[in-house]
Amino acid sequence: MILRRCIVSGRVQGVFYRKSAQRRATELGLRGHARNLADGRVEVLVLGEAAAVDEFCGWLWEGPSAARVTGVAVEELEVAAAVQLPEGFSTG
């Protein structure tokens, strides 16, 4: 299991980016959340098997068709930090 925090920039708010991320994460069996940040970016915290997390992080560059992703900053976190994550994937 690995845990990553990703900050996605570009046109990612108001284009169903978080809902699409939730759908993709659920398909891959991942836990975590996607939430809007005040500066227009989206924070994604994702926990799961390495291959699934890698695939999901690649998808973050695409997002839904209306999104225009210009950057994805990825930070590896200690898995112990996942203690407060929801069982599924939320868009809070």
**What CATH number does residue 51 fall under?**
3.30.70.100
Residue 78: the pLDDT is 87
Lowest mean pLDDT among 8-17, 32-41, 61-70, 82-91: 82-91
Contacts of 80 (CB under 8 A, 6+ apart): none
Tens-digit pLDDT profile for residues 16-62:
999 999 999 999 999 999 999 999 999 999 999 999 999 999 999 99
Q: Is 18 part of the annotated catalytic residue set?
A: yes
For residue 20, the enclosing domain spans: 2-82
The structure's pTM equals 0.90
Q: Is 24 part of the annotated catalytic residue set?
A: no
Active-site entry in 4, 18, 24, 41 = 18
Active-site entry in 4, 5, 36, 68 = 36
Residue 81: the pLDDT is 67
First to last CA, the chain: 23
Residue 54: inside a domain: yes
CA torsion sign, 63 to 10 to 17 to 81? Answer: positive
pLDDT score of 82 more than 70: no
How many structural domains are present in the chain?
A: 1
